Structure 1
Amino acid sequence: MLTAAGALEASERMPAFSWDTVPLYMHVRKVTSFTPKEIEHLSKFPLITFEKTTGLKEFGSTERGTLKAARSVKQVNPETKILYYRNILVHYSGYDANKKLKAIDTPFLVGRSGNTNLVRGKVPAYDLSNKEVQAWWLKNARDVCASKDIDGLFVDGNIKALERSYLRGQIGAEKKDAVTKAYHQMMERLPKTLGKDELVVANVVRARFDEAGIEYLDYFDGSYIEGFEHAVGQVTRKDYVAKGIAAVQKAARSGKIIAFTVGTGSYADTDMDAGADRQKRKKSPLQQRLTYTLSVFLVCAEKYSYFMLSGGYGVDGSDSKLWMKDFPEFSRPLGPPKGPAQKNGYVYERSFEHADIRVDIESETAAITWK
């Protein structure tokens, strides 16, 4: 619905949401076109991010591939919210916008040895303190998000821009502080640049920060969640996860979008199909991983929280064994929560209309009792 001024009402900007079943998120890339069957599958998700390299091989750039994929999904389900992926610091090839970057003097950070491939020793990082780089990045985001088939922007690389120590040794303290300051300036400008109808979701809530990234959420409509279990610094894994849960709960309760994405680890086996033998599924390491991570999500979830169990974002060939797999847990009736989760040490419990959750983050075990 449009207001008198032509802007979407707040509720219309947000993805569709229901407690009927587990609310799901999709984060994906494919260098060629998605097939009609894949588009049908994608159209069932309320929120999708098309990653870098989407459509690159077939359409020549991430921008064109993303727009093609988004248009195809929208033709099946116009209500699906689709985000365009951009990294705020790491330079990736495959974007049409990169052609104009060549006209900018020193667009990349330079290490003490003169090297510009500073990220993982392989790719450049943007010098955000360069005003021309800022304008270039913001213009590309605005141009793609102006499409009627794109509903907003996914901003990655925030941790690298904000983490005080990242690249500090290579580029020096003064330059890193300037980059971080420029990052904040860009994020303040971003909503106005894109327009108030566009969503902005960032990869920013992380327990490694003092306030677990909550201190940066005012810039965004929500946060993607990854690296949830990988403790950073002098802290145990269980305490790191507990801090992360508290942060996600706080963000979700404030009305922010949560795109809670967890990996399968080494458990991407194939005995999880809906038709698999029940006892076989119950004993599967992947089943235990799904039960545990889904339980952690449900401990945190509020309206506009979405879950994804990922075997890999790339779905070309055999990159992702879980691509288009359907799990019984995602179809079971869930119902709204009866209240917030209760915490006792490292054990969390929460009840929904059709399910009771118990998860122990110290032993990494969980149980979901479906009613």
Structure 2
Amino acid sequence: MKLHALVLIFACLSVHLCRAAETDADYYVSTQGPNGWSGTIATTNSQKSDGPFATIERARDVIRESRISESGDCTFIDELPARNSQSTEDRRVLAQAKQANTDHNIYFCDADSQLSKQIIKKDKQEGIDAHSLSVDPLFVDPANVDFRFQPDSPALKLGIVPFDVSKAELIKHIESPNVPIAFHFGKSQGLLTQEEAEFVATRSSFVCLEKGHATQTHGSTEAGIEAEAQQLKAFNPKMKVIFYWNAFLDYPMYNAHQVYARHPDWWLKTNKNELDRKKGRLMRYDLSSDDVRNWWTRVAKKAVAEGSCDGIFMDAFPQITSPSNRKLWGNEKFDAIQKGLRDLVQETRHSIGEDGLIVFNGIRSTPGRHIGFDFPEADAAMIEHFGHFQSASKETMLQDLLAMQQAAKSGKIVVLKCWPDFSFIDEEAMRKLLSEKRKTAQERLTFPLACFLAAAEKNCYFIYNWGYRLDNGCLEWYPEFDKPLGKPLGEMTRDGWKLSREYQH
């Protein structure tokens, strides 16, 4: 199948044109100069060999030509396995090397129709874009971010293949009638019942299945999550099922653990050459090892690219990046592991493909430390401990909300996990009847939900429970979730420590 492309030119000309008597310009125009000169100096030089242009038209042409080579001017959308986009220069390299069929493109600049014509003219002179056009691609409603093609779009006539928008459908707009909910849980005893699966699949488009899910019936986390993904998608084909795969800690309920256990050279050690175990129990991955990362990404690939899952939940980033690890591992090993973590994210992208979702955990603020959306290659992040554990101060909560807002505005997905002032590690609370825990959770929902709605953007999700196993309130549903919400009527406003925002309903 041909690989076709669509180039959209959004940039406008920002340089200004001045006459010779003016200063501080990129190009100059004067009746004294021929168009063959550089146009970069205001008056004719002493040798009479260079000076300003003779016409404004010539200056505009030069500006357009110079803009062609600037990668920031074009967004290149195609079906090549690129990262988020390719610059014009990147595409030229591919085309000239005959590595891709990229000569059926559309160039379009709403602000300056001549700019796209100049680009095509130049490319055709270089043997590129033989069949490309400078024409409006006829999107359905670009003003409202609907970039589907109209039926008579010239893009379709060129053979440009529209994107699979299933990934984009993950994003549930905050303008939707109700609060956008996500689920994150594991059920060790087995798969969800039919009733539970239908409940989840009809109330959300996003679920992360935890380690140990359905291991008692399916033998491993890998098999349990794969079976559950199939069940959920039978109820909701658009459901995005995320495979929990810790980026640092070795959990024994995976088949992959058996491989890790056979390679002692993969086990992370301290600077005293002792095994680095979390709480003396769980071994940690040495992410500076290429072999460890290759093993890790093979598991991710099998779950997503070869399985029924839609993405990977990469847990434990704050543990990996904690500055206190320098003392534990030594500076050299610490730096190598930080590089290994970034390599792991990039290698995961390669393994699961462009359509696979990378969700990392995550954004977090604690006294003395703030972690933002520091991995731009990822698609999504979780804020796991909003208003709880070490993130319960007003300062840390505000930092987390602002980080969520900033990341979401940049197009990232953010999941805010909130707690009802108690958690699964609170022994006294866990001894209470489920009815009591439900009552307490209901009473304490207003504050975290209000915080979420104050800062949420169109690609944010809300989770509210007291743990990670199914019986930790993970399927509890509250009347507030069904109340009409409507679209926000403005941005969040701040008055000291008071946050406000109005919604349609």
Please tell me the TM-score bracket, short chain as reference.
0.7 to 0.9
Deviation at residue 341 of structure 1 after TM alignment:
0.6
- Which SS does the other structure have where 1:218 is aligned? coil
Q: Which residue matches 1:339? A: 490
Does structure 1 residue 270 correspond to structure 2 residue 429?
A: no
Is the CA contact 1:155–1:200 (under 8 Å) kept in the aligned structure 2? yes
Supply the distance in 2 between the matched residues of 1:209 and 1:134 (Cα, whole angstroms).
32
Question: Structure 2: how far apart are the matches of 1:285 and 1:307?
Answer: 18
Equivalent-residue separation in structure 2 for 1:105 and 1:286 (angstroms): 45
**Distance in 2 (alpha carbons) for counterparts of 1:215 and 1:101:** 29
Distance 1:211 1:304, change over 3 A: farther
Match of 1:357 in 2: none
TM-aligned CA deviation for residue 185 of structure 1 = 1.5
Runs of 4 or more consecutive aligned structure 1 residues displaced over 6 Å after TM superposition: none
* Alignment-mate amino acid for residue 252 of structure 1: A
- Unaligned 5+ residue runs, structure 1? 274-283, 355-371
What's the CA shift for 1:46? 0.8
Distance 1:209 1:239 in 2: 8
Distance 1:336 1:272 in 2: 32
Residue 176 (1) aligns with residue 334 (2): yes
Structure 1 residue 189: deviation in Å?
A: 2.3
TM-score, normalised relative to structure 2: 0.62
1:151 and 2:310 aligned: yes
Out of 199, 202, 205, the residue aligned to residue 41 of structure 1 is 199
Contact 2:185–2:474 (Cα < 8 Å) also in 1? no
1:192–1:211 distance in 2 versus 1, CA, 3 Å: farther
User: How far did residue 190 of structure 1 move?
Assistant: 2.1
- 2:402 corresponds, among 239, 246, 261, to 246
1:82 to 238, 241, 245: 241
DSSP 3-state at the match of 1:201 = strand
Cα separation, partners in 2 of 1:34 and 1:136, compared to 1, 3 Å: same
* 1:275-314 pair list within 5 angstroms: 285-314=440-469
Aligned AA for 1:70? A
Task: Look at both structures and tell me which one has the larger radius of gyration over its CA atoms.
Answer: 2
1-structure distance, mates of 2:256, 2:436: 43
Cα contact 2:256–2:299 (8 A) shared by 1: yes
Distance in 2, matches of 1:329 and 1:106, equals 51
How far off its partner does 1:210 sit?
8.8
Call closer, same or farther: CA 1:324–1:160 in 2, change over 3 Å: closer
Match of 1:12 among 157, 163, 166: 166
Does structure 2 conserve the Cα–Cα contact (< 8 Å) formed by 1:255 and 1:303? no
| 3-state SS, counterpart of residue 385 of structure 2 | coil
* Contact residue 464 and residue 474 of structure 2 kept, 8 A: no
Aligned residue type for 1:153? I
Say if 1:47 and 1:82, in contact at 8 Å, map to a contact too: yes
Q: CA deviation at 1:184?
A: 1.2
Amino acid corresponding to residue 28 of structure 1 in structure 2: F
Q: Which of the numbers 118, 125, 131 marks the counterpart of 2:277?
A: 118
Give 1:22's aligned residue.
179
CA RMSD of aligned residues (A): 2.6
Deviations along 1:65-101, one digit per CA (max 9) or x if unpaired, are: 0001111001111111010011111111111122222
**Identical columns (%):** 28
Task: Name the residue aligned to 2:382.
Answer: 224
Deviations 1:229-282 (A, max 9, x none): 3586xx992112111111111111112111111122337863697xxxxxxxxx
SS in 1 for 2:251: coil
Of 191, 194, 204, the match for 2:352: 194
Cα distance in structure 2, aligned partners of 1:12 and 1:293 = 30
The alpha-carbon distance between structure 1 residues 241 and 16, as it changes in their structure 2 partners (threshold 3 A), is: closer
The structural deviation recorded for 1:9 is 3.1
Q: CA deviation at 1:114?
A: 4.6
Q: 1:355-366 maps to which residues of 2 (within 5 A)?
A: none
My pick for the range that moved more, 188-197 or 200-209, is: 200-209
Query: Comparing 92-101 with 329-338, which one deviates more in the overlay?
Result: 92-101
Distance 1:205 1:255 in 2: 15
Within the candidate set 128, 138, 142, 2:301 is matched to 142
Number of equivalences? 335
For the structure 1 residues 199 and 212, does the alpha-carbon distance in structure 2 shift closer, same or farther, using more than 3 Å as the test? Answer: same
Q: Which amino acid aligns with 1:270?
A: S
Partner of 2:137: none
Counterpart residue type for residue 39 of structure 1: A
- Residue 149 of structure 2 aligns with which residue? none
Which structure 2 residue ranges, 5 or more long, are not aligned?
Answer: 5-78, 82-161, 423-428
Tell me, yes or no, if the aligned pair for 1:224 and 1:258 is still in contact at 8 Å. Answer: yes
Give the aligned residue type for 1:314.
Answer: R
